[in-house]
Amino acid sequence: MKPKVVRECAELHSLVKSLHRQGLRIGLVPTMGALHAGHISLVKESLKNSDWTIVSIFVNPTQFAPGEDFEKYPRTLESDLALLEAENEKENIIVFTPSADEMYPKNFYSYVDVAGVAQPLEGAFRPTHFRGVATVVLKLFNMTRADVAFFGQKDFQQVQVIRQFVRDLNVPIEIRMSPIKREEDGLAMSSRNRYLSSEARQRALCLSDSLNRAKEMILSQNCRSRSAVEAEIRKILEHPKHSIDYAVIVDPETLLPRPGDEIVLPVAILLAVRVDDTRLIDNLVID
């Protein structure tokens, strides 16, 4: 059965009020569309843990900086709905796909700025990104009044930023993070993978290869030097057609390197690499 599609906030509010009056639990899966198996795994988690699932599909303009890929970001609503239809056996999926004017009406001036975990890494390379993310996600939390929201680990820093403002602003919602879904060859699933040529896609495997090598070095006890492991990661990532924004080993909570050079678990290894013109991110948490 095709999921119910809602495009206006007022209609969504009405539906949500009705569900809450019935005492039903609502799950939220925020997406920008171009759905793949990683998104669907989050939908499945929501369906298992909620009575109703709201999947938002909205390419959010405020999280793109000038010169980024907002205009060419894939918009595949019909195929997205077909994927969700396959999961809608109980007819309990709502798709919220608003316009930009619906989300950011005339005279919109309020934004959410998060410090702390939003400042390093993506915050340094894309300084306006998390302002847009935090604003649209908080709006979706308010619109859906969801009990629980599901995010993927591939956007590890984004999840930490969302957890930060949820704590700071006392937002009554549970945040769950699901493991990264990968292709059979190890490439982290991403809507931007479709930008890659077949040759570039093969080169992009260096991201997961470098993470696996780092894990091997750390867990074998042969190397607990952060600088040495980071150097090995960069060696694997290097290529004339690649540009490394960051490849770092950090504290999973602060997203900053711990004092000294010794690796003390747990750690998060976070990567952002441009393969040709496509910027890819990946990560690994070692507990």
Q: Which residue, 204, 154, 210, is CA-closest to 41?
A: 154
Q: Which residues have CB under 8 Å from 250's CB, separation 6+?
A: 120, 121, 256, 257, 258, 267, 268, 269, 270
CB count in 10 Å sphere of residue 86: 9
Place of tokens 């809507």: 191
CA–CA gap between residue 242 and residue 273 (Å, rounded): 7
Using left for φ > 0, alpha for ψ between -120 and 50, and beta otherwise, residue 201 falls in alpha
Q: How far is CA 90 from CA 1, 4, 28, 51, 177, in A?
A: 8, 12, 16, 10, 24
| Rounded Cα distance, 252 and 269, in Å | 9
Q: Which of 36, 39, 129, 239 is catalytic?
A: 39
> Under DSSP, is residue 156 helix (H, G, I), strand (E, B) or coil?
helix
CA atoms within 13 A on the CB side of 258: 17
39 catalytic? Reply is yes
Cα separation of 36 and 33, whole Å?
Answer: 9
Phi, psi (degrees; rounded to nearest 5) at 280:
-115, 145
Contacts of 148 (CB under 8 A, 6+ apart): 25, 26, 27, 28, 46, 49, 50, 173, 174, 175, 176
Q: Supply the residues annotated as catalytic.
A: 39
